[in-house]
Amino acid sequence: MDNDHDPAAQGNSPQARARRAERALPGSAFGVHAGQPAPVPADAVIALRGEALAPVLDINSGVTVERLRHEQDLARSGDLYLLAPVGYFLLAFDTTVLQVNLAGATMLGVARANPGLHHFRTFVAPAFLTDFDGFFARSLNSGKGETCRMRLRMPDDGGLDVTLHGSADGSGQACRLIVERAEGKQAALERSEERFRRIVHSAGEGIWEIDASASTTFVNPRMAQILGYSIEEMLARPLLSFMDGAGMAMLEQCIAERAEGVPVPWEYRFIGKDGREVWTTVSTSPILDADGACLGVLALVTDITERKQSTELIWHQANYDTLTALPNRHMFMDRLAHETRKADRGAAFLALLFIDLDRFRQINERLGHARGDLVLVEASRRIASCVRSSDTLARFGGDAFAVILSGLDHIGSVERIAHAMVAALALPFEAGGDKAFLSASIGIALYPPDARDTGQLVARADRAMLAAKNAGGHQFSYFTPDLRQAAQARQSIADDLRAAIALRQFEIVYQPIVSLQSGAVHKAEALLRWRHPTRGLLGPAEFIPFAESNGLIVEIGDWVFREVAQQVQRWQHSIDPSFQISVNKSPVQFRRDADLYLSWLDYLNELGLPAHSIVIEITEGVLFEGATQVIERLRQFRAMGLQVALDDFGTGYSSLSHLKRFDLDYVKIDQSFVATLENDVGDLALCEAIIVMAHKLGLKVVAEGVETKVQRALLVDAGCDYAQGYVFARPMPAQEFEAMAAAGVPRLPH
């Protein structure tokens, strides 16, 4: 019958909805014949801004329904047609039921949740076993499909005549089987419609029909129950009215990733009538008319709230201390590894403090464990009050705590915090009406001076704590008995640094920043070296932390700026009038008065240099030092005409927000991403995304650490603007740089 003339197939009656749903699902009523693979429902997406439904593939632009179903079949070969009015099975080679839809499970009287407990062959009437075995063997080896009529044994001991349609699964490891009752077409249709209504209303999954304007046109009782509404309350309401902002963002992200071919689960968060969060998995199928136009979407919804909450609870218990709600040892070690990597990238240092409460055992024995727990909770609160929000405090177990002080620029900061902790923990504790008195022993180990390995760093902080405890407690101690010598050595380096400026022991080398489009070298990064009189040439990681901790970095940074300004003036005459040099900026300098920066502007004016000749490079670590202060400093830079680059982009937190929030000109992709471009598709995709995003925001992109021709070629293809790395040249003195620029960088084959 032509559906255009079938009243039951039009309108919004239950019969019409059943008809539309059947057209979106497999079965004999809509064209599955022997030799044809079962069609797979196509995913549909919701365009949030327009609040309108549209298929992932535009069916109205010439893409046929058959092609749409075929492509979705390849993408979603594991989907079950839960609502098909015919039985649908996926069978292993020994006829074990791997998957089954609702109609098939009802037909055989088995639980859909545990289909693997049954072999389909056991349901075949004995007289038809030989026929079934031959049919099954042919189906497994047939790409076109096979058909066979036979009788099944039913749970009520009766027999059921059926037609089987079998074909090999796309993986070649299973057989797809469609089971239809062998009866008259009209009787089959009536039985199919009745079965469909029964399945829909008794299904354990929620069923949600949404029209082309994203409004609800049908829900079954289970769907209404999942969200806590009545059926009548959900009808005619838009889908988005059941989501909050976070849920809509989750949906939008999932749709975008699906459109890009990223395999992500359809997992969404809805808001129930009582305001609670309802987590679900959703499988969608478009409802198509006879011409292939999309009328709406049929969604199968499974409530996974309890499972989600259990997973989150398990994760929280595995990573947090139940008494103090602080991170536990497991999470602390993960944070420590992350912070040491950040310290390596930023040439900074961090301190690990290991804190043990003196005489806590006596408090437990005198007051009991319950009151001892109150003391531990209060102790954790006092320790937390002594550290910054960006630092990490954890309970290591018992009465032991640990703190990571990251991004430090002065050793005095560590001692100030340690003194504050010792004083705070020495104050009386209130423990259920009783007074308790404690003190604390604190061990301090520094990264990287004291250890490069996180496990060794923890062990050394623990040893320093024991030294403090053995000395009587109520104090802090650095690692090892000879740490005083290390402190003296640091002081000696500080003295040497003071002399280095006057004795002109610092040198600046320059690394070319090459235009990937033209190969021209009109930019360079200035890198500081120290030619120590006894230790030889030192890189910045060997002395910058000490310069920062002693405040000398400000004076050194001022010297570097003025030297670079003179150099860029020379190169604007000899190489290119628009030549730029980038200089790195320490977090410590952001906390200094603006007078220093104004003197820079005066110096540039004195040299007759445009302010944009200098690019100030900052790392994301600088951005964590205090957003308000950073924004003010960047504003001052830009007001002066200096340009700003964000270095090591992608290695810190909230990188995307930094591009919008801070006033930047360049983004420098961290070399850790560039190093794996040839072998890691994910890093290549990330680099491409950074480049596109930066360009949309009007920023230029520089790739760091480019060491191979392949990396360069991939960056060119991705549209990257500039690159620097050993494939072009290593950092070199100014004279060598000028000679190299005059000769020109060799054009590498693309």
pLDDT at 450: 83
Note the pLDDT tens digit of each residue in 481-532.
565 455 556 667 777 888 888 888 999 999 999 999 888 899 999 999 999 9
pLDDT at 566: 95
Residue type, 718: A
For residue 31, what is the enclosing H or E element? none
Q: How confident is the model at residue 734 (pLDDT cuts 50, 70, 90)?
A: very high
Closest-CA residue to 380 (of 321, 444, 324):
324
Rounded distance between C-alpha atoms, residue 223 and residue 207, angstroms: 6
Rounded distance between C-alpha atoms, residue 322 and residue 328, angstroms: 9
Residue type, 442: I
Q: How confident is the model at residue 633 (pLDDT cuts 50, 70, 90)?
A: confident
CATH T-level topology, domain 320-472: Alpha-Beta Plaits (3.30.70)
Q: Which string of b and e fits 277-306 if b means at least 16 CB within 10 Å?
A: ebbbbbbbbbbbeeeeebbbbbbbbbbebe
**Residue pair 145/165 in contact by the 8 Å Cβ criterion:** yes
CA atoms within 13 Å, Cβ hemisphere of 97: 26
pLDDT at 80 over 50: no
What's the average model confidence in pLDDT over 40-54?
A: 33
Residue type, 643: Q
Name the token pair of 231.
């059926």
Write out the residue limits of the CATH 3.20.20.450 domain(s) in the chain: 491-743
CATH class for the region spanning 206-308:
alpha beta
Give how far the C-alpha of residue 652 lies from the chain's centroid of Cα atoms, to the nearest Å: 12
pLDDT at 608: 92
Rounded distance between C-alpha atoms, residue 531 and residue 507, angstroms: 7
3-state SS track over 183-238: CCHHHHHHHHHHHHHHHHHHCCCEEEEEECCCEEEEECHHHHHHHCCCHHHHCCCE
Rounded distance between C-alpha atoms, residue 731 and residue 507, angstroms: 12
What's the average model confidence in pLDDT over 214-220?
A: 89
Q: How confident is the model at residue 388 (pLDDT cuts 50, 70, 90)?
A: confident
DSSP string, 131-167: HHHHHHHHHHT-SS-EEEEEEEE-TTS-EEEEEEEEE
pLDDT at 58: 31
What's the average model confidence in pLDDT over 422-434?
A: 85
Note the pLDDT tens digit of each residue in 153-196.
877 667 888 999 998 887 778 899 999 887 655 565 666 666 67
Note the pLDDT tens digit of each residue in 340-350.
888 877 666 88
Mean pLDDT score of the chain: 78
**Least confident residue range of 23-37, 233-247, 642-656:** 23-37
Q: How confident is the model at residue 403 (pLDDT cuts 50, 70, 90)?
A: very high
pLDDT at 276 over 50: yes
Rounded distance between C-alpha atoms, residue 276 and residue 273, angstroms: 7
Dihedral of the CA atoms 615, 616, 621, 623 (nearest 10)? -100
pLDDT > 90: what percent of the chain? 25
Write out the residue limits of the CATH 3.30.70.270 domain(s) in the chain: 320-472
Q: How confident is the model at residue 30 (pLDDT cuts 50, 70, 90)?
A: very low
Q: Is the dihedral of CA 660, 666, 670, 675 positive or negative?
A: positive
Question: CATH code for 491-743?
Answer: 3.20.20.450
Write out the residue limits of the CATH 3.30.450.20 domain(s) in the chain: 3-38+84-202, 206-308
3-state SS track over 397-454: ECCEEEEEEEEECCHHHHHHHHHHHHHHHHCCEEECCEEECCEEEEEEEEECCCCCCH
Q: What is the DSSP letter of 725?
A: S
Name the token pair of 71.
């492509």
CATH class for the region spanning 3-38+84-202:
alpha beta
What's the average model confidence in pLDDT over 383-401?
A: 88
pLDDT at 461: 92
pLDDT at 11 over 70: no
Rounded distance between C-alpha atoms, residue 279 and residue 268, angstroms: 6
Note the pLDDT tens digit of each residue in 449-460.
888 888 889 989
**Least confident residue range of 90-104, 255-269, 380-394, 659-673:** 255-269
Q: How confident is the model at residue 634 (pLDDT cuts 50, 70, 90)?
A: confident
pLDDT > 70: what percent of the chain? 76
Q: Which residue has the higher pLDDT, 316 or 700?
A: 700
Q: Which residue has the higher pLDDT, 409 or 293?
A: 293
DSSP string, 171-187: TSSSEEEEEEE-S-HHH
Q: Which residue has the higher pLDDT, 199 or 514?
A: 514
Note the pLDDT tens digit of each residue in 579-609.
999 998 876 676 665 566 678 888 999 999 9
pLDDT at 289 over 60: yes
Q: Which residue has the higher pLDDT, 418 or 111?
A: 418
